[in-house]
Chain A
Amino acid sequence: MNIINKRGLLDLIAACFLIMFFATNALSLTSEISPSRISVTSLYHGSKLVVTGETRPDEEIIIKFSSPESKFDLRKKGKAGGVFWMNIGELEFNHVSDVYLVYATNKIGSILSEKQQEKYSLGYDAFKRLVEVSPVSDESDKVKWVGEFVKFKEKNGIYGIFTDRIETEIKDNKKIYKLKMDWPYQAPPLEYTVSVYSVKDGVVQDYNETSLVVETVGALKFISNMAFNNSSVYGIASLLIAIAAGFIVSVIFKGGGSH
């Protein structure tokens, strides 16, 4: 009985340690996004966004904004007839996110191993390996066009990797991080995934995900729905309004007696 009690007590202590160990690990990384919902109204031109949280003091932080993977068909430019730069065909990009914004406290290549980058799709090196492009002649052709894809998206403001935007401070043996950013107006209304990773020794120690909903509301939502779901009425209404506008302006000018 005594032995059983002793054994039970030891088990209980071990279990407590285990629970405490996992609890501290699981709770070590926190994150909060504000606002978590962005309403796109008529005067929308992007939004201020803040991601905050805490982690262990010796860990780096990576924050990734991405949309569901999809397919993109783009035109590619090249030299036709050896002289003129023009569209020479189309390329299909598969398994790519429309928006890919990554913020880190350090260069991703220096804080995360290649394997881990690929596992969590973090950084352009991993991105380039994971994306599929067709038609391409060989690997170097693929690398070239994925590079062009990234350039194209960066120019639109919806792709980027930034290592100087997250502010950190150590307080009560915790690293408190804060990312203040301008959410780009070019990012279409979608549900985005915001993934936060804590990294140490080249390995992701912990991560959590939350969603960011960007949605059109009010008149914009009405117009958008009508354009796609009731396109004949939308076409006719648009025409009538355009003609009426032209006519009214014409009458205003005549009414003004300017000729």
Chain B
Amino acid sequence: MYFYLPIALTSISLPLIVGLGLLVGLLSGLFGVGGGFLMTPLLIMIGIPPTVAAASDSLQIVGASTSGTFAHWRLGNVDFKMGIYLLIGGFVGGLGGVQLIKVLRMMGNADFVIKVTYVLMLGIVGAYMFFESLQSLKKAKHAKQGTQAAETPSAPKKESGFVKFLKSLPLQTRFEKSGVTHSALLVIVLGGFVGVLAAIMGVGGGFLMVPVMVYLLRMPMHVVVGTSLFQILFTCIEVSFLQAYVNHTVDFVLAVLLLLGSTFGAQIGTKLGRKLHGDQLKILLAVIVLVVTVKILLDLLLEPSLLLSLKGGH
């Protein structure tokens, strides 16, 4: 069974597109990522024009993250206060990132800088998460400390200079749900940092925000997932509207078909996530991020079969 897409102007197989939605929704509910870094290239691969793929995926993420946020909220996994602070930073950072792209383009070779940044970020984040989680899992196994050890990232026994510096920053705020205390400034700056990178790379930034929350803000993994989804929801609402209003690239039919799978996928992912420990979740996400990194690297190194492509996409 095929469906014709009125904005993408192509026809797609219904089981294929619903399956894709289900897969990415599952990852979304499981890890708190929007899945744009995975979905957009997959959509382009099946013949959707890049600009339409990125914009429609953004609308799809709105639906999936609504579903995921509700599911996590019911489980008490959303730190709204933290989410709002990060959102403020992300919004400002996003605006800054867009300006930075303009400067890079004026200097020339912007695509090279963007692509290399993307691969480096994915590679570093994936590799760090993988090895850190692997170590934590081993430690937890040896110490048999149960859930507690797996839930919280390996906290330093002695306060480092960096931690002392963080504690000396003004506007220290308690984030009850996450059980951490940080300077509001730090949270906003980190949100801004992810916002800049997300804007440069043209992705939602979930795969960057999750490690930032885990390793720099020291939040428990399950709260990270819920809070990340909450934040992604708002970011994608803004992006979807702008894409629909300014660029006319949101394909409503495509987004709805993806939603058929992703909203259910997000629910299944959330339930599945409850059965896994924080480190197991992190290691799975790390593997996915690393596989995507290798795929992008191969694309960069091997001569493509087509030397021309439509504009848009990552």
Measured CB to CB, the residues of A under 8 A from B are 40-46, 73-78, 80-81, 83-88, 90-91, 145, 148-149, 151-152, 155-156, 185-186, 188-189, 216, 220-221, 223-224, 227-228, 231-232, 234-236, 238-239, 241-243, 245-247, 249-251, 253-254, 258-259
Contact = CB atoms under 8 A, between A and B. Distances in A.
B28 to A, nearest CB: 11
Contacts of B246: 231
Contacts of A41: 4
Given A43-B2, A46-B11, A246-B67, A75 B263 contact: no
A42 B3 contact: yes
B9 A45 contact: no
B307 A77 contact: yes
A188 to B, nearest CB: 5
B121 interface: no
Given A77-B306, A246-B63, A247-B66, 6 more contacts: A81-B112, A85-B301, A148-B308, A242-B255, A245-B259, A250-B263
Contact of A156 (B47, B302, B304): B47
Instruction: State which size class the interface on B falls in.
Output: 35 or more
A85 B304 contact: yes
B7 interface: yes
Interface string B228-253: 00000000010011011110101011
Interface in B1-29: 1-4, 6-7, 9-11
B11 A223 contact: no
Contacts of A90: 311
A235 B244 contact: yes
B61 to A, nearest CB: 9
Given A235-B244, A238-B59, A246 B70 contact: yes
A148 B306 CA distance: 7
Interface string B63-80: 111111111001000000
Contacts of A253: 71, 267
B250 A235 contact: yes
Interface in B192-244: 237, 240-241, 243-244
Contacts of A149: 308
The 9 tightest CB contacts between A and B, nearest first, are A246-B66, A235-B244, A250-B70, A246-B67, A249-B263, A45-B2, A242-B63, A185-B11, A44-B4
B242 to A, nearest CB: 8
Contact of B308 (A74, A80, A227, A245): A74
Contacts, number: 180
B72 to A, nearest CB: 10
A227 B264 CA distance: 27
B2 A75 contact: no
A45 B11 CA distance: 6
A235 B239 CA distance: 10
B254 to A, nearest CB: 11
Interface in B252-288: 252-253, 255-256, 259, 263-264, 266-267, 271, 274
A74 B311 contact: yes
7 contacts: A73-B311, A76-B308, A86-B300, A87-B111, A235-B240, A239-B59, A246-B64
B109 interface: yes
A149 B307 CA distance: 9
B227 to A, nearest CB: 17
A152 B11 CA distance: 18
Contacts of B70: 246-247, 250-251
